[in-house]
Amino acid sequence: MYKSSKKSTKPQEISLKRVQSYMIWMIERYGDYSAKALLQKANVLFKDDTQFNQTALDYLIQHEIIDDARYARRLTSSFASKNLGANKIKEKLYLKGFQSSTINDCVNELETTEDDYFEKALMLKIRKFGEDPIVDINLKQKALRHLTSTKGFSYSIAIKVISYVSDES
């Protein structure tokens, strides 16, 4: 009835060229990766022989196909536009696999002041909890958790925002 089209699938030989091609394909197909994340993916796929993975990664870094600092700066500006605090931006960059020095440099390069973070946090607080200062202790704790843990604002900014009284009243 149906012919079996099973071909003998012998594993391909792992070479530097194959690992480089895989890494470039990943970047072209799915977008940028941090060097650490790309190396982890290569180590999973080529787990039988990982001798070429670091060499291929070094080649891509040397030819500026992978640039962690450039990618981290782009992600940082993207996260900053999403009303996230500095701590949440750092957490997201860390999860992407960047080194802490790169993360700190990128977050410090942001031209965001304490007042800017206060305005962002206030906007989020008004959207979720209303304009009035929060007096209920349970609601205060919920707002504090939301602003610090979920959105990544500092504790001092979250406290100011929760007890903020508008001058326009």
Span 113-136, pLDDT tens digits: 889 999 999 999 999 998 888 889
Shared-domain flag, residues 99 and 120: no
Q: How many residues does the chain have?
A: 169
Residue spans of alpha helices (H) in the chain: 16-30, 35-45, 53-62, 68-80, 86-96, 100-109, 114-129, 137-145, 155-162
- What is this structure's pTM? 0.77
Same domain, 118 and 157: yes
- The amino acid that residue 126 corresponds to is I
Count of Cβ atoms closer than 10 Å to residue 6 Cβ = 6
Q: Give the per-residue pLDDT at 5.
A: 60
At 13-26, the pLDDT tens digits run: 888 999 999 999 99
> Do 158 and 118 belong to one domain?
yes
Within-domain flag for 167: no
Question: Is residue 79 situated within a structural domain?
Answer: yes
Total domains in the fold of the chain: 3
What sign for the dihedral angle of Cα 159, 165, 168, 169? positive
Instruction: Write the CA distances from 81 to 28, 38, 100, 106, 111, integer angstroms.
Output: 25, 26, 21, 14, 12
Q: Of 155, 27, 137, 26, give the one whose Cα is nearest residue 146.
A: 155
Q: Looking at residue 138, which CATH number applies to its domain?
A: 1.10.10
| pLDDT at res. 4 | 59
